[in-house]
Amino acid sequence: MGKKWTITVPGSTANLGPGFDSIGLALGLYLRLDVTLHNEWAFEHHSIHLPEKFTVEDHLVYKVAKEVAERYDADLPDCKVVMTSELPLARGLGSSASAIVAGIEVANQVCDLNLTVEQKYTLASRIEGHPDNASASVCGGLTIGASLPNGDLELIHTQDVRAAFAVFIPNVELKTSEARKVLPAQYDKAYAVHASANANMLTAALLTKDYKRAGKFMEHDLFHEPFRANLIPNYHEIRQTAKDAGAYGTAISGAGPTVISLLPIEHVQAFVEKMKPLFPTYDIQAVKVDTEGVRVDISE
């Protein structure tokens, strides 16, 4: 029996309201890959819905692994990859970002690249197009990132998040590309200043662990939620019902259609049990914050 790499990547939520394309949070929902060297590239999927016909060359994990190997002038060996996922596709829980992070880690392991954490989250953010989901899946915990004009990525992250979350996952997909189409091409100056102030307050509240205030500003986004709200089933009803039940705040997870609520740790399970009969068409789960990020276990 040859070497096997088990790669575990957390899913994530992005934005938390006004932290648009900048704030990410790793969640305890996972994509797992068992990788072994093989005589050709092959993928086996469990709990992942994919089109009936797809080629290895079209697979995101393979494409990213190949791109990373070529970037570092390494030869990517043939692998068999067995994938299991707790992340529904196109629901706003970082399924594509987790696949990108997984592809980077596949290349890192089988090509012996010895990438640093900074190299991993920089690569993942560039491939994804923004640092929120990708950096959270690499680092774990809460990440706040921004790209400088020269292309460098600056990232602040902390694993110390003393709050819990509940996710409302509908049985409908919403691709990020479609959710971006409803956003305005530009914002009025005064509007943008107000929106940025709300994002600043959200960030400060999260970093100072003032979760009650963080929840307030989760619900005061002006960058994307006013334009995406009508794409999200039961959006307004969920926000109000969650608030009445003790949630600090509720926001669209990433581009949606999942909705996420911020809660005290000791109340999250009772909150979920209360919400389930009220929104029976949703898969409502309590999710912890993942604090490890991508990890690898190696066996012989």
> Which pLDDT does position 152 carry in this prediction?
87
Q: How far apart are CA 175 and CA 23, in angstroms?
A: 19
In whole angstroms, how far apart are CA 158 and each of 25, 75, 119, 122, 248? 10, 35, 18, 17, 20
pLDDT for 257-266, tens place per residue? 999 999 999 9
pLDDT number for residue 46: 81
User: Residue range 64-86: average pLDDT?
Assistant: 96
**Is pTM beyond 0.85 here?**
yes
Q: Which residue has the higher pLDDT, 55 or 48?
A: 55
Model pLDDT, residue 172: 86
Q: Give mean pLDDT, residues 89-97.
A: 90
Query: pLDDT, tens digit, for every residue of 267-300?
Result: 999 999 999 999 999 999 999 999 999 999 999 8
Write down the pLDDT at residue 174. 85
Of the pLDDT bands very low, low, confident and very high (cuts 50, 70, 90), residue 207 is very high
- Both tokens of 102, joined, read 């997984």
CA distances for 207 relative to 159, 197, 290, angstroms: 11, 15, 16
Largest CA distance in the chain: 63
Cα–Cα distance, 248 to 219 (Å, whole number): 9
The answer on pLDDT for 80 being more than 60 is: yes
